């Protein structure tokens, strides 16, 4: 099937299967799982993932064709976005064959929801300072600690957990990655309510949570390298909007603004052109990264540049929409309300803009790195985060 036919078939399938809205008589979680199962069975979930582990085994060209077909639809896939964009690709890249066999297909079919457990109260931008401990106990690991700012944890069946397993080495060298059962009796999930009253994030507590060693991802004390893989996928998926659905319902989109503002004003047109240029530049950059990945070239730190560009674009877009819509845009119930409230989060989630600039400067532009006094100091000798 050529790409035009592939895209046309995807559009027809989406027209028949994307729900018009949440049914008042149903469970939205169950409805979203049902949609993911149908999406997978139709061949549109895991398009570029290896067929051996349950993916479709196709190319980035089909992925882009499906994205083009889906741009005018709002897909009920948000709760699966962490699994599709971050934890799943990490398991494909760094997991064992047994882990891929067990977890990838259920993830792609929406049978299981995933979250990512990195940030802590004392380890946000400096994730390597985390203090959640995992201690060996025979064939198991026992985990105690806390994570925070975790998306979809309230729905999650599994989480990708980064924990400290060695305090006698520098902080980056004593971490290990695990798959943790979010239904374990020692896992407590508490929603975090922001000033708008929404609970988009959670804090999670681990009290003597047992994890079998077969759920360890990568080698003991080599979790930082696995985390770097996850963070790269996270930044690329955020910048590309993986799992977020179409943009037709975004009141700050270029199309929506053109319908609602006075485009006869040349100053307004100039700003809309600026929005178009920034959006198009990011889209082309993402396409280049995707093509290079398909050709076997690892994007590396340039994924941080893509994430930074999206964060800055989102803030510019929200600021522009607010100025054009006027003061009423911040009133509760206005269509722009949610967009404006969530825009600053992109400058934080997946690494702050400041951290992204440091990474780009250090690893892309080869500028001198910032001094790091803790690089060779054992973690037990550091005073970090909430540690006394």
Q: Give the C-alpha separation, 207 to 186, whole Å.
A: 5
The token pair that represents 165 in the structure block: 């397993």
Classified as helix, coil or strand, 295 is coil
Q: Give the C-alpha separation, 351 to 367, whole Å.
A: 19
The token pair that represents 212 in the structure block: 């079998």
Q: What angle do CA 299, 301, 303 make, to 5 degrees?
A: 60
How would you label 148-166 residue by residue, b for 16+ Cβ within 10 Å and e otherwise?
A: bbbbbbbbbbbbbbbbbbb
97 phi, psi to nearest 5 deg: -60, -40
Residue 246 vs residue 271, higher pLDDT: 271
pLDDT digits (tens, 9 = 90+) for 76-97: 998 999 999 999 999 999 999 9
Residue 116 vs residue 256, higher pLDDT: 116
Model confidence at 274, pLDDT cuts 50, 70, 90, reads very high
Q: What angle do CA 289, 293, 294 make, to 5 degrees?
A: 120
Q: What is the DSSP letter of 364?
A: I
> What CA–CA distances, in Å, run from 382 to 121, 171, 227?
16, 9, 21
Beta bridge partners of 170: 378
Beta bridge partners of 205: 146, 188
> What CA–CA distances, in Å, run from 371 to 123, 242, 358?
19, 35, 12
pLDDT at 248 over 80: no
Task: Give the mean model confidence (pLDDT) for residues 255-279.
Answer: 86
Q: Give the C-alpha separation, 250 to 187, whole Å.
A: 35
Q: Among residues 48, 74, 69, 70, which one has the least CA distance to residue 4?
A: 69
Rounded to the nearest angstrom, the gap between the alpha carbon of residue 359 and the centroid of all alpha carbons in its chain is 18
Q: Among residues 354, 352, 348, 318, which one has the least CA distance to residue 336?
A: 318
pLDDT digits (tens, 9 = 90+) for 186-244: 999 999 987 767 788 899 999 999 999 999 999 999 999 999 999 888 777 765 654 33
> What CA–CA distances, in Å, run from 74 to 80, 252, 344?
14, 15, 22
Q: Give the C-alpha separation, 290 to 331, whole Å.
A: 39
pLDDT score recorded for residue 385: 55
The token pair that represents 52 in the structure block: 């051996």
pLDDT score recorded for residue 159: 98
Report the range out of 16-25, 100-109, 118-127, 291-300 with the highest average pLDDT. Answer: 100-109
Q: Among residues 16, 27, 33, which one has the least CA distance to residue 76?
A: 33
Beta bridge partners of 378: 170
Q: Among residues 134, 125, 116, which one has the least CA distance to residue 175?
A: 134
Mean model confidence pLDDT for the chain: 87
Which residues are CB-neighbours of 277 under 8 A, at least 6 positions away?
Answer: none
The token pair that represents 96 in the structure block: 């064992």
Model confidence at 388, pLDDT cuts 50, 70, 90, reads very low
Q: Rg for the chain (alpha carbons), in Å?
A: 21
What is the residue-wise DSSP string for 49-65?
S-GGGTS----HHHHHH
Q: Give the C-alpha separation, 186 to 301, whole Å.
A: 36
Q: Among residues 359, 383, 381, 382, which one has the least CA distance to residue 370?
A: 359
pTM for the whole thing?
0.85
pLDDT score recorded for residue 238: 67
319 phi, psi to nearest 5 deg: -65, -45
The token pair that represents 44 in the structure block: 């549109």
pLDDT digits (tens, 9 = 90+) for 108-157: 999 999 999 999 998 877 899 999 999 999 999 999 999 999 999 999 99
pLDDT score recorded for residue 217: 98
């Amino acid at each position: 099937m050529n790409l035009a036919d592939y895209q046309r078939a995807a559009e027809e399938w989406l027209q028949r299967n994307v729900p018009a809205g949440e049914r008042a008589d149903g469970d939205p979680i169950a409805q979203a799982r049902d949609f993911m199962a149908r999406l997978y069975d139709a061949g549109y979930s895991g398009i570029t993932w290896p067929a051996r582990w349950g993916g479709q085994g196709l190319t980035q060209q089909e992925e882009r064709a499906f994205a083009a077909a889906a741009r005018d639809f709002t897909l009920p896939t948000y709760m699966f976005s962490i699994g599709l964009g971050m934890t799943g690709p990490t398991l494909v890249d760094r997991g064992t064959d047994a882990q891929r066999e067990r977890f990838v297909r259920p993830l792609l079919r929406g049978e299981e929801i995933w979250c990512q457990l990195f940030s802590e109260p004392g380890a946000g931008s400096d994730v390597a300072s985390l203090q959640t401990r995992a201690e060996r106990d025979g064939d198991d690991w026992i985990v105690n600690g806390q994570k925070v700012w975790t998306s979809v944890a309230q729905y999650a069946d599994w989480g990708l957990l980064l924990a400290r397993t060695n305090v006698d080495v520098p902080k980056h060298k004593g971490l290990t990655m695990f798959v943790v059962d979010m239904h374990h009796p020692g896992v407590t999930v508490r929603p975090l309510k922001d000033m708008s009253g929404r609970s988009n994030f959670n804090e999670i507590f681990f009290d003597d949570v047992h994890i079998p060693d077969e759920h360890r991802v990568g080698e003991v004390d080599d979790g930082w390298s696995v985390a770097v893989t996850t963070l790269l996928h996270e930044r690329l998926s955020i910048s590309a909007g993986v799992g977020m659905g179409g943009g037709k319902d975004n009141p700050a989109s270029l199309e929506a603004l053109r319908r609602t503002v006075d485009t006869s004003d040349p100053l307004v047109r100039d700003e809309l052109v600026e929005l178009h240029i920034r959006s198009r530049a990011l889209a082309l950059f993402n396409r280049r990264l995707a093509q290079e990945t398909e050709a076997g070239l690892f994007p590396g730190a340039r994924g941080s540049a893509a994430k930074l560009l999206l964060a800055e674009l989102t803030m510019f877009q929200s600021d522009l929409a607010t100025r054009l819509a006027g003061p009423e845009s911040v009133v509760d119930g206005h269509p722009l309300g949610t967009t404006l409230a969530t825009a600053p989060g992109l400058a934080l989630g997946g690494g702050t803009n400041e951290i992204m600039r440091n990474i780009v400067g250090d690893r892309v532009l080869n500028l001198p790195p910032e001094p790091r006094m803790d690089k060779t100091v054992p973690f037990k000798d550091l005073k970090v985060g909430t540690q006394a």
